[in-house]
């Protein structure tokens, strides 16, 4: 499945700024904003290894790759995180018809070597987890109490963000939506195959603030007239620069977003809307994957509800209703 990738361009307020080929370098401009396509060079070695006694690579740089598949019949998520001095991985599956949920997680101190550059040209392996990206597809595998394997086919319709990071160099993220995917889940006597253009990719790398909080939405769905729809929204992080929707596969930026919910997040109906009045939704969780960690230097309170969306979207000044499937997130970390 070969497609022509977008050329990265900075998109702000409907316009484009000059192209860039790499993430910011020390002493250069940070080029904050939203770019069409994946920035070709996401190496950060110039920042990570300095003359300081302790490198940013271990203390400040965080990188992760998350892939999800959200449909009426099947939800799955898998991620590998390189947090510098700690590496983590998790996976989960939820089958709505059976209200069946299963998850796994692992953590390893210094789980990745100091020279691991954490790009989409690298192989990510941690314990029984592997995520293997290339230009055309991303292969994921987990073998443990259950087996989960899938292939996500790249569409090259993603968006890159470079955002400020509170006295640190910057934070970068790349989101690619509606990825065709095929996979299989095995757990005991249960065997389920899944397929469709319901995949999402979140690849992030950078130097987020020591204390970071975000709310996140990742959704795929359909409008009432049959248009495919995917949405990525964040609040309290990256200054909302990464907010965007994909309509029939074509991305466009969205304004800042507001998330309204009560804790515990998996027991609350969420209301989420954008300030530009283009997107508004209600989210009803089926359940959630959550984790509270306190490892001294690293603390994290994390919950990712999975469930269903319904709402309205403005297309050419006309509102259409939609339904969708996906996740939200409430995350507070000291890292």
Q: State which residues form the domain around 318.
A: 10-334
Kind and range of the H or E run holding 56: helix 56-59
The two three-digit tokens of residue 243, written as one number: 């907010």
- Whether 169 is in a domain gets the answer yes
The two three-digit tokens of residue 201, written as one number: 């990719």
Tell me phi and psi for residue 58, to 5 degrees.
Answer: -90, -35
- Whether 254 is in a domain gets the answer yes
Alpha-carbon span 176 to 200, nearest angstrom:
6
Name the pLDDT band for 25 (thresholds 50, 70, 90).
very high
At 131-142, the pLDDT tens digits run: 999 999 999 999
- Whether 298 is in a domain gets the answer yes
Report how far apart, in Å, the C-alpha atoms of 272 and of each of 51, 64, 253, 261 are.
45, 25, 16, 9
Rounded average pLDDT over 248-271: 95
Residue 287: the pLDDT is 97
Residue 15: the pLDDT is 39
- Whether 132 is in a domain gets the answer yes
- Whether 152 is in a domain gets the answer yes
Residue 3: the pLDDT is 42
- Give the DSSP letter of residue 60: T
- Whether 5 is in a domain gets the answer no
What CATH number is given to the structural domain containing 245? 2.40.370.10
* pLDDT top residue among 292 and 131: 131
- Whether 2 is in a domain gets the answer no
- Whether 1 is in a domain gets the answer no
Alpha-carbon span 140 to 285, nearest angstrom:
25
Alpha-carbon span 199 to 152, nearest angstrom:
7
Report how far apart, in Å, the C-alpha atoms of 192 and of each of 70, 208, 261, 280, 297 are.
14, 38, 33, 33, 40
Share of the chain above pLDDT 90, in %: 81
Residue 218: the pLDDT is 98
How many independent structural domains does the chain possess?
1
Kind and range of the H or E run holding 45: helix 45-48
At 31-42, the pLDDT tens digits run: 899 998 999 999
At 195-248, the pLDDT tens digits run: 999 999 999 999 999 999 999 999 999 999 999 999 999 999 998 999 999 999
Residue 294: the pLDDT is 76
| Average pLDDT in the chain | 91
Report how far apart, in Å, the C-alpha atoms of 76 and of each of 156, 178, 190 are.
22, 14, 15
Which of 278, 272, 9 shows the shortest CA–CA distance to 160?
Answer: 9
Residue 280: the pLDDT is 98
């Amino acid at each position: 499945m070969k497609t022509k990738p977008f050329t990265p361009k900075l998109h702000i307020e409907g316009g484009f700024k000059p192209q860039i080929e790499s993430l910011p370098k020390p002493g250069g401009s940070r080029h904050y904003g939203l770019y069409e396509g994946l920035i070709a060079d996401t190496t950060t070695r110039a920042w990570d290894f300095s003359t300081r006694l302790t490198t940013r690579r271990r203390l400040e740089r965080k990188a992760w790759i998350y892939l999800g598949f959200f449909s009426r019949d099947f939800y799955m998520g898998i991620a590998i995180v390189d947090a510098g001095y700690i590496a983590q991985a998790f996976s989960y599956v939820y089958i709505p018809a059976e209200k069946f949920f299963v998850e796994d997680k692992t953590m390893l101190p210094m789980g990745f070597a100091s020279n691991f550059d954490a790009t989409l040209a690298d192989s990510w392996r941690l314990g029984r987890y592997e995520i293997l990206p290339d230009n055309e597809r991303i292969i994921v595998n987990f073998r443990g109490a259950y087996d989960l394997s899938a292939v996500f086919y790249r569409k090259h319709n993603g968006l890159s963000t470079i955002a400020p990071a509170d006295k640190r160099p910057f934070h970068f993220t790349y989101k690619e939506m509606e990825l065709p995917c095929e996979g299989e889940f095995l757990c005991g006597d249960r065997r389920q195959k899944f397929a469709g253009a319901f995949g999402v990719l979140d690849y992030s790398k950078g130097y987020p603030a020591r204390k970071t909080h975000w709310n996140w939405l990742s959704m795929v769905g359909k409008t009432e007239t049959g248009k495919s729809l995917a949405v990525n929204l964040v609040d309290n992080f990256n200054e909302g620069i990464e907010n965007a929707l994909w309509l029939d596969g074509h991305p466009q930026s969205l304004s800042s977003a507001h998330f309204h919910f009560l804790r515990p997040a998996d027991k609350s109906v969420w209301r989420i809307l954008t300030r530009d009045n283009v997107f508004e939704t209600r989210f009803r969780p089926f359940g959630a994957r959550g984790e509270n960690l306190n490892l001294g230097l690293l603390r994290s309170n994390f919950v990712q509800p999975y469930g269903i969306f319904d709402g309205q979207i403005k297309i050419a000044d006309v509102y259409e209703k939609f339904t969708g499937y996906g996740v939200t997130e409430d995350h507070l970390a000291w890292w």
